[in-house]
Structure 1
Amino acid sequence: MNHFPEVYESLRFLLIDLQKQLQTIYDGIAENDPSLFLKSLERIDYIENAHLSLLNRSYNSSLRQDREYQAQLQGFEHISYSLHHLSSQLEALCFQLEQCKSLKLLQKKRIFAALEDLNKGLSLIEPAVESEELTLSIDICQLQGRIEKSCRQQLDRYQDNLKTGQYSQALMQSSFIVRDILNMADALLKIGEGIISGKLGQFIQIDRYQTLEASLSELDYDLTEQSINIHSMGETKSGCTISGVTSASEAQEEILAIFKQGRKDKLLEEKIGIESWHEKFPGIAPEVYSYQKQGDKAALLFEYLTGKTFDKLLLEDRQALQSGLNRLFATLSEIWQATEKSKPISANFMRQLQKRLKNVYAVHPEFNLKSKGLRIGDAQQASLEQLIKQAAKLEEKFQVANAVYIHGDFNVDNILYDAEKDDISFIDLHRSEYLDYTQDLSVLMVSFYRLTNYDPKVRRRIRLTIEAIYDFGADYAEQNNDNDYAKRMALGLARSFISSTRFVLDKEHAKSMLFKGRYLLEQLINLPKKELPNYQLPKELFRD
């Protein structure tokens, strides 16, 4: 991590002055000399200057570095901010000590032990930065637990003594001092994480690192002997973080595995979803290497699948996109044929939409016309709630096709196409289930439409792609005597157009999606009964 001598120099000065500040406080407690508490404050300006110097040097260095070194610089900055915060906490501790009339109740033995651990952590920072291994960085993080344990024991004892009613004020002041030291331990944890992050190439918390370490051990990959890099590959809408894990000796593109961390319930659903796909249609989903859980969090380490997502294919030449679509349609036909159940299961599009309205209104409150709708003169515009209620009654009457096993979150960035292998893969499979196939198709169509690329050529390609998806579904429906495909698809599209506005901040684009969704609902609701059997979805809807 020590590839920036000018930045490292500022860090060393920062550490020197911070250790002087800490030592002066330690001596003040040991000698019961309040003047030393004030003397410790003399280091604050030096610490402030060293911190600012590090940030300035880091910024200047970052302008000429690639992504690998950018992560190291961010690691330095993270350490510097944590040290600067620690200095502020020491300053607050000084004021607490100065106001304390007596230090007799402090139980100095425990206080000194905690301050010595704090100083030990500071003394480990330089060798941890210089080391090629992560052992010392982890040691710094673990000191936080030792300090916390010592301080908690002290606080519990103060709480018991307070019940006697004696020395209440002195016990309260002592409690504040111990709590200040307890809070400082968190700075050590953040410093250790900053060093680890700089070495790995992406910010990572210690519990996440330990989970990654446990996951990689199942691949017989020893982090103490082999170094790795991790880099962000995005974040899901459910809040899960996704990282690529690469060997430090390999090119950045050669990814060993994907490491995904987030809520335990979501990742457990995804693990189950992946395993179910392996049973029903082998080869379409990645292999799970490891599943680790900790409290309400969990992590998945799974196979890195080659290929490009369809939002990337969209921006390449038309042939790449067309080849991907052809293989996708063929793959879906095989999946649906292999997994079809002789049992219809409705998607209940209107029920889905109703559940998502609250989140839609949170992003676009102007869409909420309340329960009565909007009246301008003699013109009455129904609220979404009214339209959904009417459309739900209509939906109950539609014939539903036999259920097939669907992806469940069939967005453009959850489907991979490998052009060399002419192969399709699925990722993010936590919502897979047996359902109406129009669920996946309608979601995919709108996920193309909601892309915020407004280049006319791209928008035209999006329109043609959506039409191709719709036509593929129509052909499948005709082959399987699915007579209500167009009507269910209209409801599915309405559901996705309206509910997806919560992911679109561009007001004009979001309004366009809302209006398209409302139009489909109003068209179906107002269509005469005799015309309903022959309903055809208007493809003009896919134009901007």
Structure 2
Amino acid sequence: MLTAALKENLSFMVVEVARQLDETFDFLASGEVAAFQKINSRDDYIDNLKTVIENCCFTTLSEARSITQRERDSIRATHTICVNLERIGDFCVSAADQLHYLNNHAILQHFDYQRIFDLLAEHLQEVIPVLKNGDMGKALAICRAENQIDDIYKENFDKIMEALRSGKEIENLVTVLFIFRYLERMGDSLLNIGEALLLSILGEKIKIEQFQALEETLSKSGLRTNLAEVGFSSILGSRSGCRIRKVHGHNEQPQIIPQTQSSIFKEGNKEKILTEKKNLERWHEIFPGLTPRLFSHQESEETASLLVEFLPGRTFEAILLKGDPAELETVCLLLHSTVREIWKRTKKEMPVKANFIPQIMARMHSVLSVHPDFLRARQDIGSSEVMPTDELLAKCRHIEEKLAAPFSVFIHGDFNVNNIIYNAARERIQLIDLYRSREADYIQDVSVFIVSNFRQPVFKTHLRDRLNWITRNMYQMAREFAVEQGDETFEVRMALALARSFYTSTRFEWNNDFAHEMFLRSHFLLEKVLAHQDSPWHTFSLPSGIMYY
């Protein structure tokens, strides 16, 4: 819902910024003082237009009684466009102002700044038509112009560096470098404008690098279509820093993506994405159908992307909090049988160290950035001394080195309740987000599952009773498996695993009182393990109440 006034003011702003670019170019070429005064004056007008457009955008969003998501996206895109147009105007002023520091104006003419101005002018004139008509190709061309500007900047940067090595005109050359730096930043703003136009067309905020990765990944999967025909919806980015989107044909048209009506596109750090790809392939070998199918992947120098099957169904978390008791009991039984089957299929008679304490240490900085006081100092309480956190961890780490699990299994690695999917139609459990899967101690998945229940932000008695019931059943299932396998140190390793999960989970909890509860429970478990060090570990007893809230 772009009002007539909004469209008009944005059109005026594009025209004024284009004129600002023309006059900045003229000033850099001529150095006439009067031209600089015009640039300064026009910048004030551009600032005023930005304020008018912002107010109009915010008013429309807040006062409109009915507004579609498409209209909302157009308004968001318009606001982003006006902000970046104003930045280009500001960079014009800053670049022009540098001319006052040039002692030799002729030196600037040895460098090619005209091509940058030409590219900016060429693509700015396409902004309003693209916003109106939704031309994907032209929106992408606007985005990609930034790469061309970067290349021109690099050419001139290298030329300036070469000239600086001569030792002549150093101050003037540094000033020229500053001018080109402002021009390069105009290219960054043009990219932001192009990505805002993609938002208005696709209905999803996406960066050009992610768009290109998606385009290439879909192409490798066999898709041959205009991406304007593909729908996108964001899924909360994972804590590993990857961006995740659901991709589907508009109206879920199955012909858009042949393999499935919907897919998940995941893009991010190359090492992490390729590790997840490897894990998906491994899971498919071990347990076909348990995890999403991998359709295709794409690699670039620093990033990679995956296109995987979208698994229909509900997360265990959703069933846990909103499902009826009978359904929850059914899903729990199915989850337990699935987990036991995974353990049996992947069990290797090979002792493995869990390294729960090193995991706490590795995440300590993240914990303290959220809760700076979650590192206990040495304290004296009467005649007793309370051990500081650092020392407690060091002593427990020494103990843990002697407590290897008697066998390994292939674990999920992040067995939270929101990474477990129940497909009611097929009556099966499936798993997602498998980046951290590896051969390890099965207790890690159990402890992560238990604490992911514990830290659910619900405090009503009936829901807490349900969470505690789920926790109790999972623990009992794991305990029975340990007895069957002759795992005599199960309980002490579980204590360390829970200490790890309680401690490291505090970095995701802003409720300081609740986070402190987990912090205290972690220390209690570590102290209990330390107190038992002179006794046989098979006699250690985990205080079960520690798992319930």
Pair in the same fold by TM > 0.5:
yes
Residues 336-345 or 279-288, more deviating:
336-345
- The CA distance in 2 between the partners of 1:525 and 1:104, in whole Å, is 76
Secondary structure at 2:322's aligned position in 1? coil
Asked whether 1:62 is paired with 2:68, we answer no
Distance 1:122 1:382, change over 3 A: same
Letter in 1 for 2:270: K
Spell out, residue by residue over 1:462-481, the C-alpha distance to the aligned partner (whole angstroms, 9 max, x if none).
11111111011122223333
| Partner SS state of residue 321, structure 2 | coil
Moved more, 146-155 or 301-310: 146-155
What is the aligned partner in structure 1 of residue 385 from structure 2? Answer: 380
* Equivalent residue, structure 1, for 2:444: 439
Quick check: 86-95 or 49-58, which moved more?
49-58
Which TM-score applies when normalising by structure 2? Answer: 0.90
- Is the 2:2–2:75 Cα contact (8 Å) retained in structure 1? no
- Given that 1:416 and 1:426 are in contact with CA atoms closer than 8 Å, whether structure 2 keeps it comes out as yes
Q: What SS class does the counterpart of residue 400 from structure 1 fall into?
A: coil
- Indicate yes or no: 2:140 matched with 1:138: yes
Would the alpha carbon gap of residues 98 and 398 (structure 1) be closer, same or farther in structure 2, given more than 3 Å must change?
closer
TM-score (norm 1): 0.91
- The answer for the alignment partner of 2:155 in structure 1 is 153
Indicate conservation of the 8 Å contact 2:27/2:96, yes or no.
Answer: no
Q: What root-mean-square deviation, in Å, do the aligned CA atoms of Structure 1 and Structure 2 show?
A: 2.6
Which of 284, 287, 304 aligns to 1:278? It is: 284
Secondary structure in structure 2 of the residue aligned to 1:367: coil
Out of 336, 356, 366, the position equivalent to 1:349 is: 356
State how far apart, in whole Å, the 2-side matches of 1:470 and 1:181 are.
61
Equivalent residues of 2:136, 2:228 under 8 A apart: no
**What is the distance in 2 between the residues matched to 1:440 and 1:181?**
52
Partner of 1:326: 333
Please report how far the alpha carbon of residue 346 of structure 1 lies from its aligned counterpart in structure 2 after TM superposition: 3.1
Segment of structure 1 superposing worse, 331-340 or 379-388: 379-388
Letter of the aligned partner of 1:7 in structure 2?
A: L
Where 1:366 maps in the other structure, the secondary structure is: coil
- Note the C-alpha offset of 1:37: 2.2
CA distance in 2, matches of 1:168, 1:333: 72
Please give the alpha-carbon distance, in whole angstroms, between the structure 1 residues aligned to 2:286 and 2:105: 70
C-alpha deviation, 1:165, in angstroms: 4.6
Displacement of 1:334 in angstroms is 1.4
In 1: Cα distance, 2:95 partner to 2:487 partner: 74
Name the count of aligned residue pairs.
539
Aligned to 2:294: 288
Query: Counterpart in 2 of 1:35?
Result: 34
Question: Do structure 1's residue 26 and structure 2's residue 33 form an aligned pair?
Answer: no
Contact 1:399 1:483 (C-alpha < 8 Å) held by counterparts: no
- C-alpha change, 1:171 and 1:280, in structure 2 (3 Å) is same
Are the equivalent residues in 2 in contact too, given 1:20–1:40 (CA < 8 A)? no
Counterpart position of 1:469: 474
Quote the offset at 1:6 in angstroms.
4.2
The separation in 1 between residues aligned to 2:236 and 2:35, in whole angstroms, is 49
Q: Which residue of 1 aligns with 2:257?
A: none
Q: Which amino acid aligns with 2:196?
A: G
Deviation at 1:196, TM superposition (A): 1.1
Report the Cα offset of residue 353 of structure 1.
Answer: 3.0
Distance 1:275 1:155 in 2: 45
1:245 counterpart SS class:
strand
Structure-1 residue corresponding to 2:267:
261
Give the direction of change, closer, same or farther, for the CA distance of 1:321–1:171 in structure 2 (3 Å limit): same
How much has 1:487 moved relative to structure 2? 2.6
**Paired position in structure 1 for 2:236:** 234
Unpaired segments ≥5 residues, structure 2: 254-259
Deviation per residue, 1:277-323 (Å, 9 max, x gap): 01111111111222222222222221111122222222213333323
Unaligned runs of 5+ in 1: none
**Whole-angstrom CA distance in 2 between matches of 1:221 and 1:239:** 27
Tell me the distance in 1 between the aligned counterparts of 2:398 and 2:99: 71
**Alignment-derived partner of residue 53 in structure 1:** 52
Q: Does 1:497 align with 2:499?
A: no
Contact 1:48 1:84 in 2 (8 A): yes
Partners of 2:350 and 2:506 in 1: CA distance = 32
Shift of residue 5, structure 1, vs aligned partner: 4.5
